[in-house]
Amino acid sequence: MDIGTFNFGLAGIGLAVVYALGFLSAVDAVMKTRTPQGTTAWVFALATVPLVAIPLYFILGRSRFDDYVDALRTFDNEIADGLEQASHGALKAFLAPHGTAEGREVGEMQAFDQMATVPFTTGNQIELLVDGDDTFDALFAGIDAAERYVLAQFYIIHDDQIGRAFKERLIAAARRGVEVRLMYDTVGSIKLPRSYRRELDAAGVTVCPFSGPRSWLKKLRLNFRNHRKIVVCDGRVAFAGGLNVGDEYLGRDETIGNWRDTHLRVHGPIVQGLQLSFCRDWFYGTREEIDGLQWEPTASEEADQTALVLASGPADEIETCGLLYAHVIESAEQRIWIATPYFVPDGRVLGALQLAALRGVDVRILMPRTSDSIFFKYVPYAYLPDVARTGVRVFLYEDGFMHQKVAVVDRDFAAVGTANFDNRSFRLNFEATVVAHDEGVCDDVARMLERDLASCTEIGLKDIEGKSFAFRFAANATRMLAPVL
C-alpha cells in the first residue's frame, strides 16, 4: 500500500468518525434542545457541516445544564428537603392567602407559587435603590452591620475602585468574626485577577467560582452563566437587582458615561427565598452544606408587602422566566411597562406583547440608545417593525446606558431583578427576579420609570425606514443570533 492510498484511507475513516459524532450530537439536540427552531438549526448544521458544528454545539448548543441538575438532585435529596421544610415551616405564618386576591390575580399567584421555590409571602419591605451610589451605599452598610454571616454572589466583579472597596468590606466583616462567602461567575468575572481572591482567602473569606467540580472539558460549556446578583446579611436583609461590582456601574466609565440601573434592598420573609437560591448555587460549586443560617423569617415593621423570588435557570424543568412574563403580559388590562438593556424576545412573548397592544393595553418598551455591545446597537430596530405596527411604543434612553431589568404590569405586578428580556435570560442564564404583588411597589416602580421616560426619545416605523440598507440588514441579521444573545 502506497502512502497516498494509506492517507486517503485515514481521511475516509476520520470523515466517517466526524459524521458519526455529528449524528450522535444531532440525536442529542433532538432530545434536549428546548425549541423546535433551535432543534432544526442544530440538526441541519450537525448533519451538513459537522466539523464546524460539533464544537459550536458542545459550547453553545446545550440549553439544559445537566451538571447542575445532577447536583440539585443530590442537594434536594440530602439537604434541601431539610432547608425547605425549615424555611416553609418558619414561613407558614407569612404565606400569602390567595383568598385575598381578586379575579385573575388568584390564578396568577397560584402560577407564580408553582414556579418559585418559596411561594408568595406577606410581611415584606421592598425598597428601590436607584443607580450605583444608592445601591453601594446601602449594600456596604448592610455588610458593615452584619453580625453572623454574609452570602454574596455576583456575575461580574472587577478589581477596580469599587471592586476593591467591596473586597475591603468583606475582609473587615470576616476579621470581626462574620462568616463570609463569595461566589462569582467564571465567565462574567474572567478578568478578575487571582490576587483578588488570594487576599480574600487570606482574610478568612470563603470564595467559590460558579464552575463546580467539573472536568476541563465540561468547563468549555460557556453557554450557562450565573447572572444572579444576591447579597444576604444575617438572613434579615438582602440585596438583589441589576448591578454588578465595577466602576462602570457608578458611571465612571468615560466611554459609556452615565449608568442607569436599579437594585433592591428587601426585608422580611422574601430574604429566605434569596438565601435558598444562594444555597443551591453554593452547593453546586462546592458540594458544601451551609450550616447555621437564619431560616426563621422576621416580618418588616415598616411595610406588609406581598412578594416572592423567582430563581430561574437552565436546570428548571420548565422555562419559568419566560412563562412568568408571558403569563403577566397575556393577563394585563391597563399597562405593561418594561425596561431592559437587551430586548430579544422569543415568538411567544413577542406575540403576547403584540396582542396586548391590540386589545388596548398601554405597552411601552424602554431600551438604551447607547449599548455596551455592538450587536445590541441594532436590537431596538430589529424588532421595531413587529411591535410598532401593533401599537407597542418603543423608547430609547438617552442619558447614558440603561442596564436595569424592571417591569410593571397594571398595579398588581412589579418585577426587579437580573433577567434581561432575551433568550439568554429566559433559557440559558441563572437569574433571580423579585416579584411584588403590591400596589405600593407597583406605584413606586411606575414613578421611577416615568422619570426615565423623561430622558427617552420615542421611535417608530419612520425611524427604521429612514435608515440605510446596510443598517436595516444589520438589524435584521441580529435576529439570527437571538438564540445565543
Mind telling me the catalytic residues? Answer: 227, 229, 234, 403, 405, 410
The Cβ-side half-sphere exposure at 305, using a 13 Å CA radius, reads 28
Using CA atoms, how far apart are residues 160 and 197, in angstroms rounded to an integer?
Answer: 14
Q: Which amino acid is at 455?
A: S
Q: Which amino acid is at 379?
A: V
List the one residue out of 328, 348, 338, 336 whose CA is nearest residue 427: 348
- Cell triple for 452: 426615565
Give the DSSP H/E element, type plus range, for residue 136.
helix 131-145
Alpha carbon of 163 to those of 197, 207, 249: distances in Å? 12, 15, 11
Residues ≥6 apart with Cβ < 8 Å to 314: 63, 64, 65, 68, 224, 427, 428, 429, 430
Backbone angles phi and psi of 235, in degrees to 5: 70, 15
Q: Which amino acid is at 96?
A: A
Using CA atoms, how far apart are residues 333 and 328, in angstroms rounded to an integer?
Answer: 10
List the one residue out of 315, 332, 352 whose CA is nearest residue 431: 315
Q: Which amino acid is at 260?
A: R
- Cell triple for 126: 421592598
Give the DSSP H/E element, type plus range, for residue 259.
strand 259-260
Number of CB atoms found within 10 A of residue 380's CB? 21
